[in-house]
A and B are shown apart, each in its own frame.
Chain A
Amino acid sequence: MTLRIGWGAALVTVITFLTIFFAWPVGAMLLRGILDDAGALNLSAFGEVLTTTRTWQIVGHTLTMAVLGTIGSVVFGLPAAYILYRTDFPGRTVLRSITLVPFVLPTVVVGVAFRALLGSNGPLGFLGMDQTTGAIVAAMVFFNISLIARQVGGLWQMLDPRTVEAARSLGASRARAFCTITLPALTPAIGASAGLVFLYCSTAYSLVRTLGSPGVGTIETEVFRQTQTFLDLRTAAVFSALQVVFVLASVWLTQRLSHRATTALRLQHPVRQPLARTDWFPFGVTMFAVVVIILLPMITLIERSLITNDGYGLDNYRLLVTSSGSGFAGGTTAAQALEHSLKIALDATIITLVAAMLISLIITRDANHPVLARGQRFLDTFIMLPMGVSSVTIGFGFLVSIHAVNPSLGQSGVLVPLAQAVVALPLVVRTIIPVLAAVDPKQRQAAAVLGASPTRILATIDAPYLLRAMGLAAGLSFSVALGEFGATSFLASPDYQTLPVYIVRLLNRPGADNFGMALAAAVVLGIVAAIALLIGDRIRPRIRSTR
């Protein structure tokens, strides 16, 4: 009985949290768009925005970049999937580790790296791509090659090679066998991962901001511009609503594509074949992707951050502690911003972990009642929504809901960790759930027939698994919160900035010092975020049996 009350309390806590910090902000944002100042229904804002040419230019620009980013990621990701997951050669594991780097780095860091790479002094400066749409697309490809390679490669390595051999023996050339046998088998995986990449590319706010919002910008940068520059919250709300529509459409598309059956495939244990001479083309493409698209920006970032007026040195890093950047009235240094970031990320991590743990436990319970089961499925879908609505919507939503009702909360800096927690929550829940779902329900039943009460089952059967996932979940939420820029850029008060917001501000101010400091700060941010993830991954409490 007490346990049932416990579950009830957990459910109420979770629903309250999601209502106040997710449903209300998003709802308030939508209402802001359809109500006028007096609170009456007024759709004129939608009409005005949707009939402006500029709006459609922005939508077109957003769409173009997302499509190009997705195509680029697939073009480089497919050969990489083959080379990294289907073949074997010395150095394969090294290459594969390098492709993990983008998973670890905050987007702002990558943005800064591409500025360093493509800037007029950078190694690829001659391309003239600095602060162009092309630069943004390249950065999108940087982030998503590994995603495509991992998801498609994971399936590819399980395909039975004999199917292709059969096709070859029936007279199909390598290319024909690939197009008629392998490609159709991989299509569901390609579709699903490309859908996800499209989603990421259409919500790449921090990349776009860091790379200088070229052209008319994107829907997201427009929300920010309307909010911060024109203080026009209604127009911003309309753009925010557009963004939600955009994202929901791509989520829907992803779901559709990933539900395509993979059942007809003959799967088996992973197979690797030694790299053959005929693999030169995919191998070349993969090497280009790893070396030029992934490695080069990273190396350039570090190298440029060490450049001083006379050779190499730590001048830029010294400035992080001593200077607040030239041209700024405020006195915050990068070191102080990092300190704020760490504190805020710690708060966000604690909030995320508690909420994620409760949600995961609720979702993975054996539902012995249809109503309960339906509730679980609802929560399961609902919790994914924050991932769908983009951090900009969350940041803007917080601004027009909680912040609007109680501005002092905004000043106190409570909102930033909460918003970051909402952003990190779906990712973290998604890491915990598979671990808990891996517990065979029969394990709980075995414990029950051996006399363990439901509370004891929770403590002795679920808890050990939960703890194992906790380290990774903590590392993940800390690193997401640390690098979070979208929501934070709306909510961070000028005297309590986080490091990513600080870096973007530095970038947008002219001056060699500011640029150098931005590079150095990005290196520091990248290292701290990577360390957080690595530590989290290592902390897997050894489960000792208590006898």
Chain B
Amino acid sequence: MKAINLTNVHLHYGTGHNLGDAVLNGADLQVAEGEIVGLLGASGAGKSTLLRVIAGLQQPSAGTVIVAGITTDDDGMRPVPPHLRDCTMVFQDAQLFPHRTVAANVAYGLEAAKVPRAQRRQRVAQVLEMVQISELANRAVTALSGGQAQRVALARCLALNPAVILFDEPLSALDRGLRQTLAVDIRELLKQTGTSAVYVTHDADEATTVADRIAVVEDGKIVELGPVGELDSSALTESVTRLLGGIGEVSGRVTSVSEQSTTVELIDQHVVLPGRHGAVGDTVMVQLRR
């Protein structure tokens, strides 16, 4: 069974004859159970909107959305409300509830699910332990650093043991070093719990760190890029190439070689590498960095 299955999802603002701009324009996305998909895209491409449609916070104009086996049908007329979907979300700015402590934030979903008090307490402690912030349990959330807040936000989702967790640029406000550490931790926790995830970010490094597979949102459609280990660069359009300038390995054809340098043609641009690598006409793998 697929954790998420979007088929031909359209969404445009405006009603009636005035259809307005299409934000999603026939998006398809499949996420297998336990799989983490990294979703890249320029700002305004519709990444966040896609997440909101999956979560049920926004209704598509057309298309089928199946989340953890629950279907919202074609026209979006009978939407399944967000609280009945087995799917939670980590927001960009954490969105912790300021009037509740850390532990009470983590307990929130469990209360809604009417989990008995004793079990609730146990689960909260367990999850806080998992995300390594047990010592913050009784802290006010207003006193947390950005990284701690996102750990609480993740714990709040994990506590429910959901089939899917959606991440909406969760680390974009943090500095680079912290981002790397947290990205590694997030992947580990998702794998450990077998949770499926869609991870939206604009940072290609972060996406490759967390995800099993990368996709790009472009013009309201989803372009599959394939597993992180074997990204097929020939399928990329120019804008995606720019976007993914820093992603892993890309194959290219060597066009000239000297003792000092090697020129490699990648898609439609040339890159000069220091030192000698293979011979003219060879296909080499190049590790790209931003």
A and B held together in a complex = yes
Q: Decide if A384 is an interface residue (CB 8 Å cutoff).
A: no
Once A442-B95, A448-B57 are accepted as A-B contacts, the answer to whether A546 and B104 lie under 8 Å apart by CB is: yes
- Across-interface contacts of B88 in A (CB, < 8 A): 449-451
**Chain A, 427-450, contact with B by CB distance < 8 Å: what is the 0/1 string?**
000000000000010110111111
B121 to chain A: closest residue by CB: A547
Q: Decide if A453 is an interface residue (CB 8 Å cutoff).
A: yes
Cα A454 to Cα B81 in complex, Å, equals 9
Q: Decide if A370 is an interface residue (CB 8 Å cutoff).
A: yes
Cα A464 to Cα B108 in complex, Å, equals 14
Cα A456 to Cα B124 in complex, Å, equals 20
B107 touches A547 (CB 8 A): yes
Cα A351 to Cα B100 in complex, Å, equals 31
Cα A423 to Cα B51 in complex, Å, equals 46
Cα A450 to Cα B85 in complex, Å, equals 9
A461 to chain B: closest residue by CB: B97
A453 touches B55 (CB 8 A): no
Q: Decide if A460 is an interface residue (CB 8 Å cutoff).
A: yes
Residue in A445, A449, A464, A547 whose beta carbon sits within 8 Å of that of B99 in the complex = A464
Residue in B56, B100, B113 whose beta carbon sits within 8 Å of that of A545 in the complex = B100
Cα A370 to Cα B91 in complex, Å, equals 26
- Across-interface contacts of A440 in B (CB, < 8 A): 95
Number of A-B contacts (CB under 8 A): 82
Q: Decide if A452 is an interface residue (CB 8 Å cutoff).
A: yes
Q: Decide if A170 is an interface residue (CB 8 Å cutoff).
A: no
The interface on chain B, measured as residues whose beta carbon lies within 8 A of the other chain's beta carbons, has a size of 34
B104 touches A453 (CB 8 A): no
Cα A192 to Cα B271 in complex, Å, equals 61
- Across-interface contacts of A447 in B (CB, < 8 A): 97, 108, 112
The interface on chain A, measured as residues whose beta carbon lies within 8 A of the other chain's beta carbons, has a size of 23
A468 to chain B: closest residue by CB: B99
Q: Decide if A38 is an interface residue (CB 8 Å cutoff).
A: no
- Across-interface contacts of B157 in A (CB, < 8 A): 450
A463 to chain B: closest residue by CB: B99
Cα A33 to Cα B4 in complex, Å, equals 67
B104 touches A443 (CB 8 A): no
A446 touches B89 (CB 8 A): yes
B89 to chain A: closest residue by CB: A449
A453 touches B112 (CB 8 A): yes
Cα A453 to Cα B82 in complex, Å, equals 8
Once A448-B83, A449-B57, A547-B104 are accepted as A-B contacts, the answer to whether A442 and B91 lie under 8 Å apart by CB is: yes
- Across-interface contacts of B124 in A (CB, < 8 A): 547
- Across-interface contacts of B121 in A (CB, < 8 A): 547
Cα A547 to Cα B156 in complex, Å, equals 14
B55 touches A449 (CB 8 A): yes
Name the residue in A448, A449, A453 with the highest tally of chain B Cβ atoms < 10 Å from its Cβ: A449
Q: Decide if A543 is an interface residue (CB 8 Å cutoff).
A: yes
Cα A446 to Cα B150 in complex, Å, equals 13
Once A440-B95, A450-B156, A545-B99 are accepted as A-B contacts, the answer to whether A445 and B57 lie under 8 Å apart by CB is: yes
B108 touches A442 (CB 8 A): no
A451 to chain B: closest residue by CB: B112
B99 touches A543 (CB 8 A): yes
User: Min CB distance, A22 to chain B, in Å?
Assistant: 32
Cα A226 to Cα B85 in complex, Å, equals 66
Can you list 11 residue pairs at the A/B interface with Cβ under 8 Å? A446-B89, A448-B57, A449-B82, A449-B87, A449-B89, A450-B112, A450-B156, A456-B112, A464-B99, A546-B104, A547-B104
Q: A445-B55, A445-B89, A465-B99 are in contact. List 7 more A-B contacts (CB 8 A).
A: A443-B95, A443-B97, A445-B82, A449-B87, A451-B109, A460-B97, A460-B108
Q: List the 5 closest pairs (A to B, CB-CB), nearest first.
A: A450-B109, A545-B104, A448-B82, A446-B95, A451-B112
